[in-house]
């Protein structure tokens, strides 16, 4: 299914393909744009010690840059721009003192709700780059304002990156919606572990199909804890790594 992606470049030494005979890594991605490393701010890392261990794991896997994206969700994680930036500065200082050689950046993962809609007009959104903003919504039912929010983002010059689209159960029976998202100017971000079945068979099947159709733009770890880091490392030694290495993700452009 995925053989068309295995270019000569993707098979070169250090490409991440275990068939090369070298130790595979994620240097073919370069950057990660979805994670939860700021301690104590959401359901991600609970402490600075855990955050630093997770960052060390990312460095060991060949990443050069990490853009961490704490949740912003009014009912559970009503994080403000100021709170996120304060936590990020503490993380940067701790990583520097620990001699972790990763470029660190910060954005946010915004849950689409009324709180987020109000934030669009304020200019306070933390973006992955330029005006690309990471968003998510309910896994089980479509938010009634979804199309309106996407339109509003576009009129304000933002480009939504839809986090882990393969995990939205209500879309599993309506594949055409993904092409519709793309037509509306959205980018799609694969959760790296979805292809391994970590989130269940439905998410894996949808991830396979979205990859086959070439609809993904980015790939992210969505790492919340050390178990996620370990599971991502295990993926390096699986049959999926060559397929991922051959896919034209945009992650590396975030390192430029």
What are all long-range contacts of 114-117, with beta carbons under 8 Å and residues at least 24 apart? Answer: 114/74, 114/145, 115/72, 115/73, 115/74, 115/78, 116/72, 116/74, 116/149, 117/145, 117/148, 117/149, 117/152
Eight-class DSSP state of 225: S
Element (H, E) at 67: strand 65-68
| pLDDT at residue 207 in the model | 98
Pairwise CA distance, residues 71 & 44, whole Å: 9
Domain count, the chain: 1
Specify whether the CB–CB gap between 210 and 190 falls below 8 A.
yes
Eight-class DSSP state of 26: S
Q: What is the pLDDT of residues 96-120, one digit of tens each?
A: 999 999 999 999 999 998 889 989 9
Percent of the chain exceeding pLDDT 70 equals 91
Q: What is the pLDDT of residues 49-80, one digit of tens each?
A: 999 999 999 999 999 999 999 999 999 999 99
Pairwise CA distance, residues 175 & 252, whole Å: 28
List CB contacts of 193: < 8 A, sequence separation 6 or more. Answer: 199, 221, 222, 228, 231, 232, 235
Look up the CATH number of the domain holding residue 209. Answer: 3.20.20.140
For tokens 């972790």, the residue is: 100
Please calculate the CA angle 30-31-37 and round it to the nearest 5 degrees.
135
Specify whether the CB–CB gap between 58 and 100 falls below 8 A.
no
pLDDT at 18 over 90: no
User: Does the model's pTM come out above 0.85?
Assistant: yes
pLDDT at 216 over 70: yes
| pLDDT at residue 22 in the model | 59
pLDDT at 200 over 80: yes
Structure tokens at 16: 């991440």
Output phi, psi for 201, to 5 deg: -65, -35
| pLDDT at residue 5 in the model | 35
Neighbouring C-alpha atoms within 13 Å toward the C-beta of 191: 26
Q: What is the pLDDT of residues 25-57, one digit of tens each?
A: 999 999 999 999 999 999 999 999 999 999 999
Domain extent, residue 41, equals 3-255
């Amino acid at each position: 299914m995925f053989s068309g992606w295995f270019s000569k470049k993707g098979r070169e030494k250090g490409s991440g393909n275990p068939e090369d005979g070298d130790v595979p890594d994620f240097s073919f991605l370069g950057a990660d744009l979805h994670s939860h490393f700021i301690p104590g701010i959401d359901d991600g890392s609970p402490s600075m010690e855990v955050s630093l261990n997770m960052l060390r794991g990312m460095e060991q896997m060949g990443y050069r840059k990490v853009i961490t994206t704490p949740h912003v969700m009014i009912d559970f994680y009503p994080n403000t721009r100021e709170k996120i930036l304060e936590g990020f500065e503490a993380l940067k200082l701790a990583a520097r003192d620990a001699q972790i050689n990763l470029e660190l950046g910060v954005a946010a993962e915004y849950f689409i709700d009324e709180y987020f809609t109000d934030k669009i007009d304020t200019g306070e959104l933390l973006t992955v780059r330029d005006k690309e903003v990471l968003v998510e919504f309910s896994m089980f039912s479509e938010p009634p304002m979804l199309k309106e929010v996407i339109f509003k983002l576009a009129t304000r010059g933002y480009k939504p990156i839809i986090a882990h689209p393969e995990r939205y159960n209500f879309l599993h029976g309506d594949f055409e919606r993904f092409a519709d998202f793309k037509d509306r100017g959205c980018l799609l971000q694969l959760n790296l572990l979805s292809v391994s079945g970590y989130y269940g068979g439905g998410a894996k099947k949808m991830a396979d199909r979205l990859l086959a159709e070439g609809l993904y733009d980015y790939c992210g770890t969505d790492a919340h804890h050390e178990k996620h880091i370990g599971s991502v490392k295990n993926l390096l030694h699986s049959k999926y790594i060559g397929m991922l290495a051959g896919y034209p993700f945009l992650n590396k452009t975030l390192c430029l």
